[in-house]
Amino acid sequence: MFEDVYLWIKALHVIAVIAWMAGMLYLPRLFVYHSEAEIGSKQSETFKIMERRLLKAIINPAMTVTWLAGLYLAWSGHWFSFGWLHVKLALVLAMSAVHGFFSRWLKDFAADRRPRTQKFYRIINEVPTVLMIFIVIMVIVKPF
């Protein structure tokens, strides 16, 4: 029975990670386009709605489920003594920090503040991808 629960939680974790990453890759792309839209325009207002819904309905819940399911898996699998998990957790903490920055920038856009350029958002869009690559390597390869 424990193995069945473990596998269901593992599936839930993977689903949540996919949803979180989809949002983390899409939101900064929206920021790129939003930064080019004229303040007060219909396009700018549409981006505000899209960004808010993406964060509130997908990214935030997916991150929460990712963390809860992942911690359960680490605990039940007795993984906390392994170095690869320590690195993975540090990387997931970094991803969570990026998530926090995205949330803050969304608030800036909602208030029509645009302190960063579209080039900044194009560059920052790559950060979740790099973190994801190293997280997957830690989980699959378990190099230490």
Give the pLDDT confidence score for residue 96 in this predicted structure: 98
Task: Report the candidate in 50, 53, 56, 57 with the shortest Cα–Cα distance to residue 29.
Answer: 50
pLDDT tens by residue, 38-74 = 999 999 999 999 999 999 999 999 999 999 999 999 9
Report percent pLDDT > 70 for the chain. Answer: 100
What's the pTM value of the predicted model, to 2 decimals? Answer: 0.94
pLDDT tens by residue, 90-122 = 999 999 999 999 999 999 999 999 999 999 999
Number of domains in the chain: 1
Sequence-separated contacts (24+) of 135-138 with Cβ below 8 Å: 135/88, 135/91, 135/92, 135/95, 138/84, 138/85, 138/87, 138/88, 138/91
Binding-site residue positions for heme: 13, 88
How far apart CA 109 and CA 114 sit, in angstroms, is 6
How far apart CA 104 and CA 90 sit, in angstroms, is 21
Domain with 51 in it:
1-141
Give the pLDDT confidence score for residue 53 in this predicted structure: 98
How far apart CA 127 and CA 121 sit, in angstroms, is 10
Binding-site residue positions: 13, 88
